[in-house]
Structure 1
Amino acid sequence: MEMNIIETINRFPDQSSCIAYLEGLRWQNEPECPYCKSKRSSKRHETYRHQCHGCNRSYSVLVGTIFESTKLPLTQWFLAISLILNAKKGLSARQLSRDLGVNRKTGWYLQMRIRKAMQEGEDVSLFKGIVEIDETYIGGKKANHSKKKRQARRDNKLQITGYQDKQPVIGLLERDGRIRLQVVDKAHGVTIKPIIEKTVSKDATIVTDGFGGYAGLSKIFREHQVLNKDKEQYARGKYHTNTIEGFWTLLKRGIYGQYHKISARYLQSYLDEFTFKYNHRDNRLIFDVLINKIAAVT
């Protein structure tokens, strides 16, 4: 269970408590200059900055983090993080801005910076055991296309088909474990196979539907279970894709219910948020995990 709003306010009531927490995480309370790595410094009077005795530059624990150069107090940042983590289906920038008492642009900026910190990175261990793999498409309905766009299609005699103008997303889910979501240009084997090979252990058993883009994976992985859903084959014993399909339902409810529409440019950052929440869904210290990622600057 995530730290709720009251707990966040009680734990971090002012700027000093936030700074002290970050300094403990990043430096173990032994300040280190981010510019020259010197640990010889002195605290500047009545500020949260330190004066380096090595390069003679001043710095704070915020340098190199998403908080650097912020004009907002850290109490609002920490509250924003708590609000986002507690929103199972996501939180719109408008709602976040209302909750924090800031304008919509500031709320959107906070969200995007926090989502950047949620990126899981490429250095995670490979998925093992049973791995469900599926693709989905994110985008508006054909009926919602603008009048100008629909007319252009008619003028050019182009038929608006099922997934046209939707953004394909590949999902890999380790049974009872982690998930990885990746926006791809096209849902073709040439684009999705490298992602699968980079994410899944060769000793894993992968489960997919009969989509042609997955053809040939049996030569790479220990086992490839293929479900022919055209013939209503949705499971074969323990082999199914029900878990990731349930996740797609949650994801789309969040996107269409909270955000309504997302541009392809920013879709991956939204997926990073859902990924981080899912991968740490059973961690009561998820708030601390995220703050630790923010503070762990190389």
Structure 2
Amino acid sequence: MSLVKYSKISDYKIKKVLRHFCVDVDATKTAYLLGINRNTINRLYKIFWEAIYRSRIETLQAILLTKEVEFDEAYFGSKRIRSKVGIHKGGQGTWKRPVFGVFERNGEVYTELIPDSSRKSLQQVILKRVSPDAVVYSDGWRGYDGLVDVGYSKHFRVNKSKHFSDGKGVHINGIESFWSFTKRRLSKFNGVKAHFDLHLKECEWRWKKSEEQMFKELVLLLKRE
């Protein structure tokens, strides 16, 4: 099946654009390297982001993780305030957004925007995405208090002020690694406040994938659209 439906340029050139996207070349540089109009590249990149976003949302809605699971929240933007959301400081242009992340060991990572990092909000998303049969790991944030009371009898906590692992598998290094990857990658694009949800899901999709794996997956996603 051809990808030409996405643009007036040839299938060959679209695949070249896909290759550049998969190695994380930005739209401006891709347009320059391939000699294609910047607006065309912008449009194609947005199509790629939206295809990835829809796929990841579909996957998120279907999961119920049952094995070893790490979870944590991260904050994108201004100063981290765990119980607040969408902080704006008048005239300073600062912004942040809390995101909940779940990593199934030897599996994938899943992210979800949350209104805040309160106990109520965190329990709501955990109950939707993680089975009470799972072995779960978190840090010591009070928002994770009470998980045993709602059925998570195998909940282990890491005191990150003292150590990141107890040497017996009690750690959240996997999800922390994803947050580091995501923040490092988004910093290249100056925070990407516009379409943040698309860029977040793109990071989720990219994490630990090879260029070839991303290319094949994205071609399949686009053909499915």
Using the alignment, how far apart are the partners of 2:211 and 2:91 within structure 1? 46
Q: CA deviation at 1:134?
A: 1.0
Q: CA deviation at 1:174?
A: 0.7
Deviates more, 1:240-249 or 1:213-222: 213-222
Counterpart position of 2:117 = 187
Counterpart position of 1:86 = 23
Give yes or no for the alignment of 1:270 onto 2:199. Answer: yes
Give yes or no for the alignment of 1:117 onto 2:51. Answer: yes
1:227-258 superposed Cα distances (whole Å, 9 cap, x missing partner): 2234x1422320101121122111111111x2
Counterpart position of 1:25 = none
Q: Secondary structure of 2:69's partner? A: strand
Using the alignment, how far apart are the partners of 1:165 and 1:206 within structure 2? 30
Counterpart position of 1:294 = 222
Per the normalisation by structure 2, the TM-score is: 0.80
Structure 1 gaps of 5+ residues are: 1-17, 23-60, 153-163
Pairing partner for 1:200 from 123, 126, 130? 130
Structure 2 gaps of 5+ residues are: 81-88
The change in CA–CA distance for 1:249 and 1:200 in structure 2 (over 3 A counts) is same
Counterpart position of 2:83 = none
Give yes or no for the alignment of 1:76 onto 2:13. Answer: yes
Using the alignment, how far apart are the partners of 1:97 and 1:188 within structure 2? 44
The change in CA–CA distance for 1:261 and 1:220 in structure 2 (over 3 A counts) is same
1:143-172 superposed Cα distances (whole Å, 9 cap, x missing partner): xxxx9714x9xxxxxxxxxxx731111111
Counterpart position of 1:244 = 175
Contact 1:227 1:234 in 2 (8 A): yes
Pairing partner for 1:137 from 57, 75, 92? 75
1:77-97 superposed Cα distances (whole Å, 9 cap, x missing partner): 22222222223xxx4332232
Deviates more, 1:105-114 or 1:235-244: 105-114
Contact 1:140 1:261 in 2 (8 A): no
The change in CA–CA distance for 1:124 and 1:293 in structure 2 (over 3 A counts) is farther
Counterpart position of 1:229 = 160
Using the alignment, how far apart are the partners of 2:79 and 2:146 within structure 1? 33
Q: Give the letter for the 1:77 counterpart.
A: I
Give yes or no for the alignment of 1:128 onto 2:79. Answer: no
Pairing partner for 2:91 from 149, 159, 162? 149
Contact 1:139 1:167 in 2 (8 A): yes
Contact 2:66 2:130 in 1 (8 A): yes
Larger radius of gyration: 1
Superposition RMSD in Å: 2.9
1:91-129 superposed Cα distances (whole Å, 9 cap, x missing partner): 433223223323444333222210111132145443232
Q: Give the letter for the 1:202 counterpart.
A: P
Deviates more, 1:174-183 or 1:77-86: 77-86
Using the alignment, how far apart are the partners of 2:103 and 2:201 within structure 1? 14
Per the normalisation by structure 1, the TM-score is: 0.62
Contact 2:23 2:211 in 1 (8 A): no
Using the alignment, how far apart are the partners of 1:188 and 1:246 within structure 2? 23
Q: Secondary structure of 1:213's partner? A: helix
Pairing partner for 2:105 from 154, 175, 191? 175
Q: CA deviation at 1:198?
A: 2.2
Pairing partner for 1:209 from 139, 144, 152? 139
Q: CA deviation at 1:274?
A: 1.4
Give yes or no for the alignment of 1:166 onto 2:104. Answer: no
Give yes or no for the alignment of 1:100 onto 2:100. Answer: no
Q: Secondary structure of 1:216's partner? A: coil
Q: Give the letter for the 2:223 counterpart.
A: A
Contact 2:69 2:103 in 1 (8 A): yes
Q: How many residues align?
A: 211
Using the alignment, how far apart are the partners of 1:171 and 1:85 within structure 2? 23
Contact 1:207 1:224 in 2 (8 A): yes
Using the alignment, how far apart are the partners of 2:42 and 2:120 within structure 1? 34
Using the alignment, how far apart are the partners of 1:196 and 1:82 within structure 2? 36
Q: CA deviation at 1:284?
A: 4.9
Contact 1:187 1:213 in 2 (8 A): yes
Contact 2:178 2:207 in 1 (8 A): no
